Amino acid sequence: MAAQYEKLHLFIDGEWLGLDGRKSQPVLNPATGEEIGRLPHAKTADLDRALAAAARGFTQWKRVSANDRSKVLRRAAELIRERHERIATVMTLEEGKTIGESKLEVLSSAEVFEWMAEEGRRSYGRLIPARGEGHRQLVVKEPVGPVAAFSPWNFPAVTPARKIAAALAAGCSCIIKPAEETPATALLIAKALEEAGLPKGVLNVVFGVPSEVSSYLIASPVIRKISFTGSTAVGKLLAKLAADGVKRATMELGGHAPVVIFEDVDPEKVAPLAVAAKFRNAGQVCISPTRFFVHEAVHDRFVAKFTELSAAMPVGDGLDPKHKMGPLANARRIDAMETLIGDAKARGAKVKTGGSRIGNAGNFWQPTVLTEVPEEATMMTVEPFGPVAAMVRFKSFDEVVERANRLPYGLAGYAFTGSTKTATAISEQLETGLVGVNTFAVTVPETPFGGVKESGYGSEGGSEGLEAYLQTKFVSQM
Ligand code: NAD
């Protein structure tokens, strides 16, 4: 198995740097627990070199025309697409998700590069009518500067892609620290950019102890913008560090998405969509549906169908295409499932299916459905980030809105209804940055993605995703 994985490096100033006496950590296959690679950690001198390269790279890259930057990004997208099967295999080996999901994610990353390649050519300013003859008032959009980006392990391709593509399209340089648990996918994306002609030093990829790397990079005067995807707890820490240097920040943090299923839908038709969304990447998705509020009139039918489909789901090594759900990405998620489900049961929740670990090798957990989950159960408050669906009943619109909005999270929310009036009302009332009405599909490269409340601020994707890497300059010219 180890033979199929990649040799791991740091990528600094156009050089691929290996172990060479650096501290290192193992990368494990979550389906087997086997060590598949050793990841070098950047020394302080490596981080200094990456900062110097990003400073130099910025000076060079911001002068490249938007049109020529676009060509590099589009070529990288082509290379990623050509290599998607290989990159997907590497991703499944390090993260665990099914090979089908990995392929879709890699192809979607290629699309992110293409979208930003085009959007970068549209970073328009404007001309504001002046008060006197010969006077010009110009609004100019400029790249914000070198970026420090931090991406998590659950989407090893698309999360780095969103940050890198937007930064480069805007004319910024970037130092990214992808998650240490899933490093190879991001390195293969960096390789595609290098081969597409990105000048050295414009993109740098480093690894290490996350808190040490992030505090060092964010404190550097070279860095002008932070982008982080991960937990709300870590996001709060990084937002404080960014504030110390008055640095721009995009924060994509945790969620606890409510799904409201009204009485005017066919619950047997909604259940298959809900099961597919729930168990995607074994529930380790920040927009995963987690709290299912089902109207009492359709509750039992919805739960019966959802349970039947969940119990029948083939779980196993993601490399085998017959499996529809892979392992959890790390052993911490197994502990979290045991704690959350144990707490819910102790407070009166009923287990309709699942509820246990599968075997002892790898981090497999059964697709789990809980009903009668009290609001005070930890699972209804803390982001579960695993293959567990909590079902509760509701009676009225106002009651469900209040319960759906109860938490400090505000990333995604979903509703299923046959009524246009209810659809409009619920999309207005949900306090989330993303709303899916009669769909769980809320992320494509051309649309903004981001949360409100403690789920973060700023958007990735869409024209907003580029704007996050631009600053506004006003020029008054007589
Ligand atoms: P964690 O909070 O320790 O780590 C989350 C991510 O942040 C990891 O990729 C980690 O490498 C990184 N990280 C941690 N501390 C950091 C720091 N000081 N500076 C920079 N990066 C740092 O938790 P975990 O056990 O890896 O994941 C558990 C929780 O994280 C989940 O329950 C979920 O809430 C959240 N999470 C969210 C997302 C998301 O897409 N929003 C992704 C992964 C994890």
Q: Is 373 inside a domain boundary?
A: yes
Count the alpha carbons within 13 Å of 5 in the hemisphere toward its beta carbon.
24
Alpha-carbon span 155 to 309, nearest angstrom: 25
Radius of gyration of the chain (CA): 23
Both 121 and 22 in a single domain?
yes
Both 303 and 427 in a single domain?
yes
- CA 203 to chain CA mean position, Å: 19
Both 424 and 301 in a single domain?
yes
CATH of the domain at 360: 3.40.309.10
Q: Is 326 inside a domain boundary?
A: yes
Q: Do 380 and 374 meet the contact criterion of CB atoms below 8 Å apart?
A: yes
Q: Is 181 in the pocket of ligand 1 (CB under 6 A)?
A: no
Q: Is 332 in the pocket of ligand 1 (CB under 6 A)?
A: yes
Identity of residue 24: S
Phi, psi of 360 (to 5 degrees): -120, -15
Both 437 and 308 in a single domain?
yes
Mean pLDDT by 10 residues, the chain (478 residues): 81 98 98 98 98 98 98 98 98 98 98 98 97 97 98 98 98 98 98 98 99 98 98 98 98 98 98 98 98 98 98 98 98 97 98 97 97 97 97 98 98 98 98 98 97 98 97 98
Alpha-carbon span 172 to 223, nearest angstrom: 10
Query: Residue 324 forms beta bridges with which residues?
Result: none
Query: Residue 12 forms beta bridges with which residues?
Result: 15
| Tokens of residue 360, six digits | 């002892």
Q: Is 67 inside a domain boundary?
A: yes
Domain around 385:
257-444
Q: Is 460 inside a domain boundary?
A: yes
CA of 179 from ligand 1 middle (Å) equals: 8
Both 416 and 463 in a single domain?
no
Both 200 and 104 in a single domain?
yes
Alpha-carbon span 160 to 143, nearest angstrom: 19
Q: How many independent structural domains does the chain possess? A: 2
CATH of the domain at 156: 3.40.605.10
Q: Is 37 inside a domain boundary?
A: yes
Q: Do 105 and 155 meet the contact criterion of CB atoms below 8 Å apart?
A: yes
Identity of residue 100: G
How would DSSP label each residue in 282-325?
A: GG--TT-EEEEEEETTTHHHHHHHHHHHHHT--BS-TTSTT-SB
Alpha-carbon span 265 to 271, nearest angstrom: 11
Alpha-carbon span 49 to 13, nearest angstrom: 7
Q: Is 385 in the pocket of ligand 1 (CB under 6 A)?
A: yes
Alpha-carbon span 217 to 203, nearest angstrom: 14
Both 207 and 273 in a single domain?
no
Both 128 and 246 in a single domain?
yes
- Catalytic residue selected from 6, 114, 172, 286: 286
| Tokens of residue 142, six digits | 């400029």
Q: Is 450 inside a domain boundary?
A: no
Q: Do 270 and 349 meet the contact criterion of CB atoms below 8 Å apart?
A: no
Q: Is 350 inside a domain boundary?
A: yes
Q: Is 132 inside a domain boundary?
A: yes
Alpha-carbon span 268 to 329, nearest angstrom: 31
Pairing of strands 470-477, 225-229: unpaired
Packing angle between helix 210-219 and helix 232-244, nearest 10 degrees? Answer: 30
Both 396 and 346 in a single domain?
yes
Give nearest CA residue, ligand 1 atom 9: 152
Alpha-carbon span 434 to 412, nearest angstrom: 5
Both 159 and 225 in a single domain?
yes
Which residue in the block uniquely carries the two structure tokens 């200094």?
48
Both 240 and 273 in a single domain?
no
CA of 229 from ligand 1 middle (Å) equals: 8
Best probe residue, ligand 1, of 151, 211, 231 (max atoms within 8 Å of C-beta): 231
